[in-house]
């Protein structure tokens, strides 16, 4: 992950801190107890409970490290201008070719959820929309080819 900025909303930051708290104060202690119990069963070479607990430990510790690194590089998404599309903007668009419309909120990649119409600032649509204003028609370069969209509203 390096020193790459992690863009989060206030809610996204709170959710990440809560997940870290659960991992450190609930899941890690339970896992340590599971390892102790599995060790007490004797021979570790054929102990499936021990193997499972050790695998879970690796996942928990890996996620804790990932979250801690993200928190070191977090940048909170501030309220955005309603004039120009930026990180945190909710944008209504119209597809030029077929007149379909959509609305997306542009968020950091950690909070992206296409099912909630929250798209990553690194996605092709967001990249095309950033720094444009209502009325602009932009070209989206996607893996399936290019297409045009028109910005109809910025919230």
The answer to whether the beta carbons of residues 97 and 76 sit under 8 Å apart is: no
* CA separation for the pair 47, 44 (Å, rounded): 5
Say how many residues make up the chain: 155
Q: Which residues of the chain have pLDDT under 50?
A: 1
CATH number of 90-154: 3.10.50.30
| pLDDT of res. 38 | 86
DSSP letter, residue 113: B
The Cβ-side half-sphere exposure at 84, using a 13 Å CA radius, reads: 4
| pLDDT of res. 135 | 95
CATH number of this structure's domain 6-76, picked from the four choices 3.30.2130.10, 1.10.287.180, 3.90.1150.10, 3.90.79.10: 1.10.287.180
- pTM attached to this predicted model: 0.73
* CA separation for the pair 126, 105 (Å, rounded): 9
| pLDDT of res. 2 | 55
For the segment 98-115, what is each residue's pLDDT rounded down to a tens digit? 889 999 999 999 999 999
Rounded to 5°, angle at Cα 53 from 49 and 58: 150
Q: Where are the domains of the chain?
A: 6-76, 90-154
* CA separation for the pair 2, 48 (Å, rounded): 35
| pLDDT of res. 101 | 94
């Amino acid at each position: 992950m390096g020193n790459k900025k992690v863009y989060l909303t206030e809610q996204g930051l709170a959710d990440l801190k809560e997940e870290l708290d659960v991992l450190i104060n609930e899941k890690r202690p339970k896992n340590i107890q599971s390892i102790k119990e599995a060790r007490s069963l004797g021979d570790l070479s054929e102990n499936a409970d021990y193997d499972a607990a050790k695998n879970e430990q690796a996942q928990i510790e890996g996620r804790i490290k990932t979250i801690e690194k993200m928190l070191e590089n977090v940048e909170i998404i501030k309220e955005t201008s309603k004039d120009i599309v930026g990180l945190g903007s909710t944008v209504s668009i119209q597809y030029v070719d077929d007149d379909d419309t959509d609305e997306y909120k542009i968020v950091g990649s950690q909070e992206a959820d296409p099912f909630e119409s929250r798209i990553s600032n690194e996605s092709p649509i967001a990249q095309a929309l950033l720094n444009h204003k209502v009325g602009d028609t932009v070209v989206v370069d996607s893996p399936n080819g290019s297409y045009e969209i028109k910005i109809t509203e910025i919230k």
